[in-house]
Chain A
Amino acid sequence: MADTLVAEPATTAPARRGRLGPSPWHALAYVAPALVVYATFVLYPLGRAVHLSLFEWDGLTLATFVGLGNYVEVLTDADLRAAFGHTLVLIVFFALLPTAIGLVLAALLTRARLRGLPFFRTVVFLPQVVAMVVVGVAWRQLYAPDGSVNDLLSLVGLGGVARAWLGDPTFALPAVGVIGTWVQTGLVTLLLMAGISRIPDQLYEAARLDGAGPVREFFAITLPSVRAELAVALTLTVIAALKTFDLIYITTGGGPGNRTSVPSYEVYNRAFRLGEVGSAAAVGVTLTVIIFVINLAVAWIGERR
């Protein structure tokens, strides 16, 4: 999940270094162990991925230099384009839907001062804690032909639409998406609750005196006050949508056909099953660039208020 569970760092003044403070080399010695591990196992592989992406290589025999050929493939290959397209659908379910639901939930819950709030916070965040593999196993049972999703549907008289949800070409992708909504809603709600609870009460009292109802209150006060939290929530959830590897692996394996294949799944599939290492690296680099751009864009929007 959230490898990027953080916005910009605190803007407190940097600690002053005393006259007798440690020397520069001394300071570097504290950073060195972390830096060595990090450079060896993240930075160097990242550079190598860019390098590999310029070759056609099956992982065994000699590699052929193809320049930007693999990137051209990302743009033109129908399967890859479909995979990136599926991500857009997943973003709706992983990011937009949880944000919309989370906004309403957080606004209601924070303002209402209900009892049982700690219980609710614990419960809605629980899906974030459970391993994606377990989430996948659980939802596969819910979505099975004799699973409880279909039971629920026949209970409310919609037995006619019952089906094997994850095996259905039309519904498999949205079905995976709903799992994302389930996982992410709690995180978004929690983030937004923290933001809303920081809004001074006087603002709401003033609004009520002016005769504003809950809806006006929400658009005039709540929404503008949580821009920073919204930015963090959207960054985290959009990136989660882009990195749905384990969920796809467990629930659908990219199928039926390639209806639920996503870029992160294509990276794995190409590198370790099809022996198209260069192409896999190019998909991975493209994914990284997209994540990087989203982070920059959100940070830029967040700072422009």
Chain B
Amino acid sequence: MISRTERSANYAILLLFAVFALWPILTILAGALGPDDAGGPGGLANFPAAWAEGRFGGSMLTSVAVSGFVVVVAGVLSIMAGYAFGTMRVPGAAVLFPLFLLGLMVPTEVIVVPLYFDLRTFGLTNTFWGIALPQVAQSVAFGTFWMRAYFRSRPPSLIEAGRLDGAGSWRILWQILVPPGRPAIVTMVVLTFMWTWNEFLIPLVMATDESLRTAPLGLAFFQGQYTSGLTLLAAAAVIVAAPVVVVYLFLQRHFIRGMLEGAVRE
């Protein structure tokens, strides 16, 4: 059906864009594996060196803690709220649900200013909670929306059957509706994890103490301090990007499908 010229043209374009997409990623990988900044052989030894030099032990731990907390708490709260909005009559849903939708549009830039000054009053800036809770709130706006769409797609008969068997709404949720919803939940978890791990502005404003810096923040400060050390900087960048990239590469088929199905429904 498709001519040979068209076919080779397609391959050429595909290749060109694959190169464009991979070029900066391969550059930073090559930089990270190159000879170290003192002229030594470098290679894989650059990673432990960058880890130690940039004190990434602490910042990676903070990132793991913050991301884990946000993913779990926002996930559970979103599943509960989405369940209610999707299958029950929530009083005031006509106002409440659009209010959650609003959260999809509110940029971090506008809430971070009052958050900083109000949380400062309560002594919550420079704490784990000051970094994590605002991100739970932002993720909950998306998660509620996302999970509601899933719960609405469940046949009502499933819930009826559960009720006839004497299951309460809590058991119906976790034993009947959640297990087959794994694809929708995994997509939500990957997105939440990605956004939280990569978030920069909230930790930048909230964490004035070095001990609370997240990994991206650690990288930003590392860049500021080691302007000449390109090799270690590249290695540090790879370390910071790796967790999300690895999760993405493992789950990408699943994740891309879930995301596209959620993005446009007709």
A131 and B198 contacting across the interface, CB-CB below 8 Å: yes
Which of A31, A123, A133, A229 is close to B80, meaning CB atoms less than 8 Å apart? A31
A245 touches B245 (CB 8 A): no
- Total interface residues in chain B, CB < 8 Å: 111
Say whether B128 faces chain A, with CB atoms less than 8 Å apart.
Answer: no
Please give, as numbers and ranges, the residues of chain A lying within 8 Å of B18 by CB-CB distance.
Answer: 119-120, 123-124
A43→B105 CA distance, assembly (Å): 12
User: Of A4, A45, A141, A185, which one neighbours B17 at CB under 8 angstroms?
Assistant: A185
Partner of A186, one of B21, B144, B244, B245: B21
Across the A-B interface, give the 5 residue pairs with the lowest CB-CB distance, nearest first: A284-B110, A41-B137, A48-B114, A30-B84, A27-B88
A91 at the interface (CB under 8 A from B): no
Instruction: Verify if B33 is at the interface (C-beta below 8 Å from A).
Output: no
- Contact residues of A between 228 and 243, Cβ < 8 Å to B: 228-229, 232, 239, 242-243
- Pair A46/B111 contact, Cβ less than 8 Å: yes
Max chain B C-beta neighbours (<10 A), residue from A6, A49, A124, A228: A6
Q: Is A18 an interface residue (CB 8 A)?
A: yes
State whether the Cβ of B14 lies closer than 8 Å to any Cβ in chain A. Answer: yes
Contact A28 B84 (CB under 8 A): yes
For A116, list chain B residues within 8 Å (CB). Answer: 14
Cβ contacts under 8 Å, A21 to chain B: 88-89, 163
Tell me the complex Cα distance, A14–B94, Å.
Answer: 13
| A94 in contact (CB, < 8 A) | no
Tell me if A155 counts as interface (CB < 8 A to partner B). Answer: no
A61 within 8 A of B: no
Known pairs A11-B265, A116-B14, A284-B109. 12 more at Cβ < 8 A?
A: A9-B145, A17-B87, A18-B156, A33-B81, A34-B143, A105-B13, A123-B18, A135-B24, A190-B260, A267-B110, A271-B112, A285-B110
Query: What are the interface flags for A250-269 relative to B under an 8 Å C-beta threshold, 1 for contact and 0 otherwise?
Result: 10000000000001100110
Of residues B85, B105, B113, B143, which shows the largest number of chain A Cβ atoms within 10 Å of its Cβ?
B113
B256 and A125 contact, CB distance less than 8 A: yes
Give Cα A214 to B191, complex, Å. 36
Q: Which of A34, A243, A295 is B109 in contact with, Cβ under 8 Å?
A: A243
B230 close to chain A: CB less than 8 A = yes
Q: Which of A4, A101, A119 has the most CB of B within 10 A?
A: A4
A133 x B220 contact (CB < 8 A) = yes
Considering the complex, give the chain B residue whose CB is closest to the CB of A291.
Answer: B105
Question: In the complex, which residues of chain A have a beta carbon less than 8 angstroms from the beta carbon of B106?
Answer: 42, 46, 288
Asked if B56 CB lies within 8 Å of chain A CBs, one says: no
Q: Is the CB of B80 within 8 A of A194?
A: no
B185 proximal to A (CB < 8 A): no
Question: Cβ of A108 and Cβ of B80 under 8 Å apart?
Answer: no
B21 surroundings in chain A (CB, below 8 A): 123-124, 126-127, 182, 185-186
Asked if B171 CB lies within 8 Å of chain A CBs, one says no
Which residues of the other chain, A, contact B191 by a CB distance below 8 angstroms?
5
B201 at the interface (CB under 8 A from A): yes
B48 adjacent to chain A (CB < 8 Å):
no
B60 within 8 A of A: no
B interface residues with partner A (beta carbon < 8 Å): 1-2, 6-7, 9-11, 13-14, 17-18, 20-25, 27-28, 31, 77-78, 80-81, 83-91, 96, 99-100, 102-118, 133-134, 136-138, 140-146, 148-149, 151-154, 156, 159-160, 163, 169, 191, 194-195, 197-198, 200-201, 204-205, 216-217, 219-220, 223, 230, 233-234, 237-238, 240-241, 244-245, 248-249, 252-253, 256, 259-260, 262-266
8 Å CB contact of A17 from B89, B148, B217: B89
Evaluate whether A20 and B163 lie within 8 angstroms (CB atoms) in the complex, with A34-B78, A126-B245 already known.
yes
Identify A41's interface contact among B104, B111, B256, CB under 8 A.
B111
Q: CB-CB < 8 A to A4: which residues of B?
A: 104-105
User: Does A191 lie at the interface of the complex (its beta carbon under 8 Å from any beta carbon of B)?
Assistant: yes
A-B CB contact pairs (8 Å), 21 listed:
A1-B195, A15-B159, A37-B77, A37-B137, A37-B140, A38-B140, A49-B110, A122-B249, A125-B252, A130-B241, A131-B197, A131-B219, A133-B200, A138-B237, A185-B21, A232-B264, A239-B107, A249-B200, A268-B112, A284-B109, A287-B107
Residue ID in chain B nearest A263 by CB atoms: B109
Q: Does A40 contact B (CB under 8 A)?
A: yes
CB–CB A3/B142 < 8 A: yes
State whether the Cβ of A121 lies closer than 8 Å to any Cβ in chain B: yes
Q: Given A10-B265, A12-B153, do A41 and B136 touch, yes or no (CB 8 Å)?
A: yes
A75 interface residue (CB < 8 Å to B) = no
Given contacts A34-B144, A124-B18, contact A109 B105 (CB under 8 A): no
